[in-house]
Chain A
Amino acid sequence: MRKSLIITILAILLVSVFAFAVMAETTTIRYFMWDPEFKDLEQELINQFEKENPDIKVEFTALEPSNYWPKISAMASAGELPDVFNMSSGYVDQWARDGLLMNIQDKVDQLPADDYFTKVFSTMRYPDKESSDMYGIPYAWVTTVLYYNKDMFDTAGVEYPSDNWTWEDFRKATQKLTLDENEDGVPEQYGFWWYGRYAHVEPWIYANGGRILNQEKTRIAVDDKAKEAIQFLADLSNKYNVSPPKKDTVGIRQNDMFPLQQTAMWVDGSWNIAHIRNMSQGAFDWGIAKVPAGPSAEPGEYNAYGWPDSIVISKTTSNKDAAWKLVKYLIGKNRPLESYMAGKVPIYKSLANSEEWLEKDKKPQEMDIILELGENMGRTSFTIGWGEWRGYADTGGAGMNGVLDSITNGEMTVEEAITTFTKYGNEVLERYYPEQ
Chain B
Amino acid sequence: MQYRKFTPWLFLIPTLLGLILFRLGPMLAAGLASFTRWSVFSPPEWIGLGNYIELFNSDVFLLILRNTIIFSLLFVPGVMAVALLLAVLVNNRLKGMTFFRGLFYLPVITSVVSIGVIWSWILSPRFGLLYQLVSKFFNVVRLPSFLGDARYALLTLIVVYIWKMAGYFMILFLAGLQNIPEIYYEAATIDGASIWQKFRHITLPLLSPTTFFILIMSLITSLKTFELTYIMTQGGPNYASSTLIFSIYVNAFKHFRMGYASAMSYILFIMVGVVTYLNFKFKDRWVNYSE
Complex Cα–Cα for A249 and B127 (A):
8
> Is B89 positioned at the interface, with any CB of A under 8 Å from its CB?
no
Contact A74 to B121, CB < 8 A, known contacts A185-B141, A186-B126: no
Which B-chain residue is minimally distant from A91 (CB atoms)? B256
Report yes or no: A398 in contact with B238, Cβ–Cβ below 8 A: yes
Report yes or no: B237 in contact with A405, Cβ–Cβ below 8 A: yes
Complex Cα–Cα for A409 and B60 (A):
21
Report yes or no: A73 in contact with B125, Cβ–Cβ below 8 A: no
Which B-chain residue is minimally distant from A401 (CB atoms)? B236
Of B39-47, B183-191, B215-223, the one contacting chain A is B39-47
Interchain CB contact (< 8 A) of B254 among A186, A394, A403:
A394
> Is A360 positioned at the interface, with any CB of B under 8 Å from its CB?
no
**What string of 1s and 0s marks CB contacts (under 8 Å) between A163-205 and chain B?**
0000000000000000000001110000000000000000000
Report yes or no: B230 in contact with A397, Cβ–Cβ below 8 A: no
Kindly list chain A residues whose C-beta atoms are within 8 Å of the C-beta of B264: none
Complex Cα–Cα for A95 and B39 (A):
10
Complex Cα–Cα for A95 and B141 (A):
49
**What string of 1s and 0s marks CB contacts (under 8 Å) between B122-134 and chain A?**
1111111000000
Report yes or no: A184 in contact with B141, Cβ–Cβ below 8 A: yes
Report yes or no: A251 in contact with B234, Cβ–Cβ below 8 A: no
Report yes or no: A100 in contact with B235, Cβ–Cβ below 8 A: no
Kindly list chain A residues whose C-beta atoms are within 8 Å of the C-beta of B240: 397
> Is A295 positioned at the interface, with any CB of B under 8 Å from its CB?
no
* A394-436, CB < 8 A from B: 394-398, 402-403, 405-406, 409, 411, 424, 427
Complex Cα–Cα for A398 and B124 (A):
20
Complex Cα–Cα for A246 and B236 (A):
12
* A246-273, CB < 8 A from B: 246-252
Report yes or no: A402 in contact with B239, Cβ–Cβ below 8 A: yes
Complex Cα–Cα for A116 and B123 (A):
48
Interface centre among A184, A397, A405, A427 (most CB of B within 10 A): A397
Interchain CB contact (< 8 A) of A252 among B122, B124, B237:
B124
Kindly list chain B residues whose C-beta atoms are within 8 Å of the C-beta of A98: 39, 41-42
Kindly list chain B residues whose C-beta atoms are within 8 Å of the C-beta of A388: 254-255
* A360-408, CB < 8 A from B: 385, 387-388, 393-398, 402-403, 405-406
**What string of 1s and 0s marks CB contacts (under 8 Å) between A49-93 and chain B?**
000000000000000000001101110110000000000000000
Number of contacting residues on B, CB 8 A?
40
Report yes or no: B145 in contact with A398, Cβ–Cβ below 8 A: no
Interchain CB contact (< 8 A) of B145 among A100, A248, A395:
A248
Interchain CB contact (< 8 A) of B120 among A94, A245, A250, A385:
A250
Complex Cα–Cα for A411 and B236 (A):
14
Complex Cα–Cα for A395 and B58 (A):
17
Interchain CB contact (< 8 A) of B148 among A184, A398, A409:
A409
* B99-138, CB < 8 A from A: 120-128
Complex Cα–Cα for A397 and B123 (A):
18
Interchain CB contact (< 8 A) of B237 among A69, A397, A427:
A397
Complex Cα–Cα for A247 and B122 (A):
14
Complex Cα–Cα for A328 and B42 (A):
28
Contact A251 to B147, CB < 8 A, known contacts A98-B41, A385-B255, A397-B234: yes
Complex Cα–Cα for A388 and B261 (A):
14
Interchain CB contact (< 8 A) of B40 among A74, A185, A248, A251:
A74
The smallest beta-carbon distance between B32 and chain A, in angstroms, is 15
**What string of 1s and 0s marks CB contacts (under 8 Å) between A98-120 and chain B?**
11100000000000000000000
Contact A250 to B147, CB < 8 A, known contacts A395-B234, A397-B234, A397-B238: yes
Report yes or no: B40 in contact with A247, Cβ–Cβ below 8 A: no
Complex Cα–Cα for A402 and B237 (A):
6
Report yes or no: B238 in contact with A247, Cβ–Cβ below 8 A: no
Kindly list chain A residues whose C-beta atoms are within 8 Å of the C-beta of B60: 424
Interchain CB contact (< 8 A) of B127 among A99, A251, A411:
A251
Interchain CB contact (< 8 A) of A73 among B41, B122, B233:
B41
Report yes or no: B234 in contact with A248, Cβ–Cβ below 8 A: no
Which A-chain residue is minimally distant from B240 (CB atoms)? A397
Kindly list chain A residues whose C-beta atoms are within 8 Å of the C-beta of B230: 394
Kindly list chain A residues whose C-beta atoms are within 8 Å of the C-beta of B145: 245, 247-248, 250
* B232-261, CB < 8 A from A: 233-242, 250, 253-256
Interchain CB contact (< 8 A) of B253 among A70, A185, A244, A396:
A70
The smallest beta-carbon distance between B225 and chain A, in angstroms, is 16
Which B-chain residue is minimally distant from A188 (CB atoms)? B126
Report yes or no: A398 in contact with B120, Cβ–Cβ below 8 A: no
> Is B66 positioned at the interface, with any CB of A under 8 Å from its CB?
no
The smallest beta-carbon distance between B155 and chain A, in angstroms, is 14
Report yes or no: B125 in contact with A250, Cβ–Cβ below 8 A: yes
Report yes or no: B236 in contact with A251, Cβ–Cβ below 8 A: no
Interface centre among B120, B123, B235, B237 (most CB of A within 10 A): B237
Which A-chain residue is minimally distant from B139 (CB atoms)? A184
Report yes or no: A76 in contact with B40, Cβ–Cβ below 8 A: yes
Complex Cα–Cα for A100 and B148 (A):
40
Kindly list chain A residues whose C-beta atoms are within 8 Å of the C-beta of B283: none
Kindly list chain B residues whose C-beta atoms are within 8 Å of the C-beta of A427: 58
Report yes or no: B41 in contact with A251, Cβ–Cβ below 8 A: no
> Is B142 positioned at the interface, with any CB of A under 8 Å from its CB?
yes
The smallest beta-carbon distance between B179 and chain A, in angstroms, is 43
The smallest beta-carbon distance between B45 and chain A, in angstroms, is 11
Kindly list chain B residues whose C-beta atoms are within 8 Å of the C-beta of A402: 236-239
Report yes or no: A252 in contact with B127, Cβ–Cβ below 8 A: yes
Complex Cα–Cα for A399 and B109 (A):
34
Kindly list chain A residues whose C-beta atoms are within 8 Å of the C-beta of B58: 427
Report yes or no: A395 in contact with B250, Cβ–Cβ below 8 A: yes
Contact A186 to B124, CB < 8 A, known contacts A251-B147, A394-B234, A405-B237: no
Report yes or no: A251 in contact with B235, Cβ–Cβ below 8 A: no
With A100-B42, A409-B149 given, can you name 8 additional A-B contacts, CB distance below 8 Å?
Answer: A245-B145, A250-B145, A251-B120, A251-B124, A395-B234, A395-B254, A397-B238, A402-B239
Ordered by A's residue number, 10 sampled pairs between the chains whose C-beta atoms are within 8 Å are A70-B253, A77-B43, A247-B145, A247-B148, A248-B126, A251-B128, A252-B127, A395-B250, A395-B254, A397-B241
- 10 A-B pairs with least C-beta separation: A397-B236, A251-B124, A247-B148, A76-B41, A247-B145, A250-B148, A73-B40, A402-B238, A98-B42, A251-B120
Residues in chain B within 8 A of chain A (CB atoms)? 39-43, 58, 60, 120-128, 141-142, 145-150, 230, 233-242, 250, 253-256
